[in-house]
A and B are shown apart, each in its own frame.
Chain A
Amino acid sequence: MSPFTHTLLAYLVAVGLLWGYAMKLWWSLLRLNTDSSKPIQRQENIPS
């Protein structure tokens, strides 16, 4: 591998992992906010 390939590989690994994890967390937070804003549905078939 040439020094350029080494540099490119290092940047791809670092940027990919950092922003990949950031996007994973964004997605989880987005899902959390969407789910928590939904009204809780009443389950009619539970015996009182």
Chain B
Amino acid sequence: MKAVHKKILITYWLATIVLFTVSMVLVIAWTPVEQTMGVVQKVFYLHLPVAINTFIACLVTFIASVGYLWTRRQAWDDLAVSSAKVTVLLCGIVLLTGMIWGHSAWGVWWTWSPRLTFSLVLWLLYVAYLVIRPSIESRQRRALVSAVYGVVAFLDVPLVYLSVKLMPDIHPSSIVLGTEMKWTLLACMIPVTLLSAGLIVMRFHLQRAESLVSESINEFEPQAVVRGSMGGLA
């Protein structure tokens, strides 16, 4: 890694850590406690930014899948799988924080409301994406199937977003926020977005390295077989 890249990387992660710490301090010490829900409303400052970033990660998988179908370049498939992995993590956090909040607000851990159901379906879709991939041996075929799946799975994102607006739902559809609450939400949104983008980029670098190793093994293996058989004949 070049020294310049290293400096940019360190600055990026330091900025993310500092902003994340500042946002947590704001949530704890500065933001007022909401009158109706009480202190548990503060879960919202992490729940919403992570939920928005889940949609962004799904969009990255969708764009990368379209990119693969268009160009058939392995790098697009690597990006799609990297963002799918981050989607599973982010969507899992959204579900868990939502469940914990729901237990306090509604008295139940889970209810089959449209928003919750479509969110669970979204998480399962991307888990299935990651589970199906290793079962396909051919690299090109795996990338092609994943790309088609990545495009289709994205259809659940508008369903998650619109479910609360179009169907009767226990999940809050809009919340009125005071000035401090809006600033805190923005302060949480920035580091969570930086963190999510950083996770996709880091996962992508690892995925590229894995793909390049697998490509070189595939290139090397037939030669090794030919050389081995010639050696045997000689």
Contact = CB atoms under 8 A, between A and B. Distances in A.
Contacts of B67: none
B104 A1 contact: yes
A28 B39 contact: no
B199 A7 contact: no
Main secondary structure of the interface of B (DSSP, over half): helix
Interface residues of B, number: 29
A7 B103 CA distance: 11
Interface in A1-48: 1, 3-4, 6-7, 9-11, 13-15, 17-18, 21-22, 25-26, 28-29, 32-33, 36
Contacts of B192: 18
A3 B195 CA distance: 27
Nearest to A20: B89
Contacts of A25: 199, 202-203, 206
A7 B198 contact: no
B100 A6 contact: yes
Given A22-B195, A25-B203, A25-B206, A6 B104 contact: yes
B89 A21 contact: yes
A29 B97 contact: no
Interface in B44-98: 46-47, 50, 89, 92-93, 96-97
Interface of A: 1, 3-4, 6-7, 9-11, 13-15, 17-18, 21-22, 25-26, 28-29, 32-33, 36
